[in-house]
Amino acid sequence: MMDFQWTREPSSYTISSDGVTITTAPHTDLWQRTYYHFRNDNAPVLQMETEEKYFSFVVRTDFTASHNRFDQCGIVMYLDSENWLKASVEYENAEFQHLGSVVTNHGYSDWATTAIPASVNVMWYRLSRREDDYCIECSEDGEHFSQMRVCHMWEGGGKIRFGIYACSPEDSSFTAHFTNLAVTECAWKAHVGQKPDEA
Q: Where are the domains of the chain?
A: 5-184
Q: Is-contact 86 101, C-beta < 8 A?
A: yes
The whole-model pTM stands at 0.95
Q: Please state, in angstroms and rounded to a whole number, the distance separating the CA atoms of residues 199 and 143.
A: 38
Residue 186 has pLDDT above 90, yes or no: yes
CA proximity to 165, closest of 125, 117, 109? 125
Q: What is the mean pLDDT of the chain?
A: 96
- Could you count the other beta carbons within 10 Å of the beta carbon of residue 141? 9
Measured CA to CA in angstroms, residue 62 lies from 39, 73, 79 at distances of: 27, 8, 25
- What is residue 35's predicted lDDT score, i.e. its pLDDT? 85
Segment 11-36, tens digit of pLDDT: 999 999 999 999 999 999 999 999 88
Q: Please state, in angstroms and rounded to a whole number, the distance separating the CA atoms of residues 94 and 65.
A: 13
Residue 1 has pLDDT above 80, yes or no: no
Residue 96 has pLDDT above 90, yes or no: yes
List residues bridging with 112 in a β-sheet. 101
Segment 113-165, tens digit of pLDDT: 999 999 999 999 999 999 999 999 999 999 999 999 999 999 999 999 999 99
Q: Which CATH architecture does the domain made up of 5-184 adopt?
A: Sandwich (2.60)
- What is residue 191's predicted lDDT score, i.e. its pLDDT? 87
